[in-house]
Structure 1
Amino acid sequence: MKLGILDQMPKPKGMTAEQTAAHTIELAQLAESLGYGRYWFAEHHATRGMISSAPEVMMAAVASQTQTIKVGSGGILMPQYSPFKVASQIAQLESLFPGRVEAGLGRSPGGAEFLRSLLADDKPNQMAEYPDKLRQLIAYLDGSAKVHAAPRTTNRPELYSLGLGENSALLAGLLGIGYVFGHFIQPDRGVAALQTYRETFSQGFMDTPSAKACVFVVCGEDDAHAEQLAHTQDIWLLNVEKGLDSQVPTPEAAEEKMRLLSEDEVKKVKNNRRRMIIGGPETVKVALDHLSDSYQCEDWLILCNIYDWEEKKQSFERLAALYLGDESYSLHPNKI
């Protein structure tokens, strides 16, 4: 199993953006030491709680403070940007950190229409032009366009398209680039999407198919401990979906909210758990192995948006002990 981290840089309530950024560098360094293969950054704008607004900058920051771990974007919001500018940024990163750059591109508008318009400098909505923008980006990087994005590096960075279903998988396959499925957003269509990608991939910008999937994981000391930790993520996600405060709530605030949930909110939290794996090491391994088998995917990007910084690090450490390094976590054979 290959593991990486997808970081939305969620800011815990009471912590500053500067502290959250410093913790991010620390977590990336820890991830590298534990054997995680990649560290990717999301792109969010105008939120109080998710402070990863410039994945290209964070990729450079983390790469400069680590040695081998790959850095990536998950993903750059292509409909709002110039493909040539994005290609130039990716090429620049590749020149600085050869062989360590993975550029994930997404179709999201980045938020409400007013925010999309700000990102696109008041240009008309270009969501439908995402496939064409991907093609232009590829052409600027592979030299088939009239203008080649500079710098012209010896090797090309890897390109991935992010998606939530068969249509996005088909596009990535036909373009010959990698594909990343967001189970942490849409847990119902991963099997079909990844199968579509594998069946339609044709050699293009990349020689061989490369598929990944993303999922929330909270790995505690045991199931009860993980459940307690996960409540801050449960309430955070509920608030984000309602357009409320996107800062990760304190455990005390989360527990208070959990006691006061309406019937509809209880259903929503339960449904959101389908986007997550929550449990002690044995439970997490059984669940992730099962999901990996269902998806036929052994390359995962992990999110963990709980409040407590030390517990968050330990969750990633426990997950690494299950799959990474020379000595992986040993479970009872009858539970695998």
Structure 2
Amino acid sequence: MKLSILDQSPISSGKTPQEALNATIELAKRADELGYTRYWVAEHHDLSGLASPAPDIMLGLIGSQTKRIRIGAGAVLLPHYKPYNVAERYNMLATLYPGRVDLGVGRAPGGSAEVTMALSDNFLEQVRKMPESLTELLTFLDHDLDFPSDHMYSKITPEPVPQHPPEVWQLGTSEKSAISAAEKGIPYAFGHFMTDKDGPGIVKKYRENSTAKHEGKAIISVSVICAETTEEAEELALSNLLWKVQQEVGGGKDGVPTVEEAKAYDFSNKEKETIQDLRNNTIIGNPAEVKKQLEELEDLYGTDEFMIVTITHSYEARRKSYELIAEEFGFTKL
């Protein structure tokens, strides 16, 4: 099984955005040492407690401080941008870090309606044009594709042109995104931790319709919190679950709460129901328990790569979670 990391650069209560971003860089370095396959950085805009609106800036830093791990965006929210600009930026990263760059694309706004208006004009229209924009992006990036000779972009190139172009992935949680990835012939990353939809069915639909040479390569993104004991993992998870509950009602602006704050919090019955729903999409436990549940998901989805997102108040506990998982799976360290 291949394991990768999705980092949303969470800000813990009492910490600064700078500390959160530095923790992302340090975790990427450790993931590289531990033998993880990929390290993707998410894009969010003015969302409480999340520090990274610009994955490409972070990837430039991460790439310079890692050696072998693939680095990528999870995801560039394409409706906010012109495809040519995205192609330039990720071609530049792929030139700096040959054979190591992934470019995940998505269609979500990544923030509030007000932020969406501040970022881009007529976002909904750009979402509608997403298939055309994705085709345009793929054409700019793929050495084997060209615009027709009479196309307005036929004479331009997103320099620098790397020897190994970025690998483009489509991210999503719906059958629509799966079909889009299949039709474009690109790999698909499904956000299991973000939805209660029929993930295995959606990924199966992707594979059945895929035109890709790689026969429908898919990654499943899962929320995991691992500690040396089940009890410790449960405690660590509680602060993350509380934070998600707070975010759903517009709170959580102080960042991920401490374990102590979470244990002292008086959950309402409705919040307890929400917590239970969130737990259904989260793997929590000691290393052996985590491995068992990931292997069960491997059988369910029929895929051999999972992208793990772990959010805890303590950056040290987050790092330890990934270390324990790598050790349990017997990864080869640098």
TM-score range, shorter chain: over 0.9
- The AA in structure 1 aligned to 2:240 is Q
Alpha-carbon distance in 2 for matches of 1:323, 1:225: 20
Residue of structure 2 equivalent to 1:333: none
Structure 2 residue identity aligned to 1:238: V
The 8 Å contact of residues 102 and 160 in structure 1, kept in 2 or not, is answered as yes
C-alpha deviation, 1:324, in angstroms? 4.0
Name the structure 2 match of 1:20: 20
Counterpart code for 1:304: T
Does the 8 Å contact 1:165/1:192 carry over to 2? Answer: no
Q: Which amino acid in 2 is paired with 1:230?
A: A
Alignment deviations for residues 84-128 of structure 1 (CA, whole Å, 9 cap, x no partner): 111111111111111010000011012222211111156664221
Shift of 1:275: 1.5
1:184 partner SS? helix
Q: Which residue of 1 aligns with 2:320?
A: 314
Alignment partner of 1:252 out of 260, 275, 283: 260
Match of 2:190 among 171, 178, 181: 181
Which residue matches 2:233?
A: 226
Aligned to 2:95: 95
The letter of the residue matching 2:268 is: S
Distance 1:221 1:250 in 2: 19
Partner of 2:310: 304
Contact 2:116 2:123 in 1 (8 A): no
Amino acid at match of 1:64: S
For the residue of structure 2 that corresponds to 1:126, the secondary structure is: helix
Contact kept, 8 Å, 2:47 with 2:111, in 1: the verdict is no
Aligned to 1:29, the other structure's residue is in SS state: helix
- Mapped pair 1:199 → 2:205: no
Separation (CA, whole Å) in 2 of partners of 1:28 and 1:302? 13
Counterpart contact for 1:35–1:324, Cα < 8 Å? no
Aligned partner of residue 152 in structure 1, secondary structure: coil
Match of 1:262 in 2: 268
Cα deviation for residue 141 of structure 1 reads 1.4
1:160 aligns to what SS in structure 2?
Answer: strand
RMSD: 1.6
Partners of 2:229 and 2:124 in 1: how far apart?
Answer: 51
Separation in structure 2 between the aligned mates of residue 85 and residue 208 of structure 1, nearest angstrom:
29
Q: Report the TM-score, using the length of structure 1 for normalisation.
A: 0.92
User: What pairs up with 1:56-205 in 2 under 5 angstroms?
Assistant: 56-121=56-121, 125-142=125-142, 143-145=145-147, 146=154, 147-203=156-212
- Report SS of the residue matched to 2:290: helix
How many residue pairs were aligned?
323
Please give the TM-score of this superposition, normalised by the length of structure 2: 0.93
**Structure 1, gaps ≥5 residues long:** 328-336
State the Cα deviation string for residues 36-85 of structure 1 (Å, max 9, x = none).
Answer: 11110110111341001101111111001111111010101101110111
Could you say what secondary structure the match of 1:248 adopts? coil
* Rounded Cα–Cα distance in structure 1 between residues aligned with 2:292 and 2:251: 34
Instruction: Provide the C-alpha distance between the structure 2 equivalents of 1:166 and 1:65, rounded to a whole number of angstroms.
Output: 37
Cα distance 1:37–1:324, how it changes in 2: closer, same or farther (>3 A)? farther
Provide, for residues 198-243 of structure 1, a one-character-per-residue CA deviation record: whole Å limited to 9, x for no partner: 111113xx65532101111001112111101111111111112222
Cα contact 1:80–1:126 (8 A) shared by 2: yes
Q: Counterpart of 2:227 in structure 1: which amino acid?
A: G
Structure 2: segments with no counterpart, 5+ residues: 148-153
Post-superposition Cα deviations, 1:127-180, rounded to whole Å, max 9, x if no partner, equal 211111111101111241213322222222100000102221111011011100
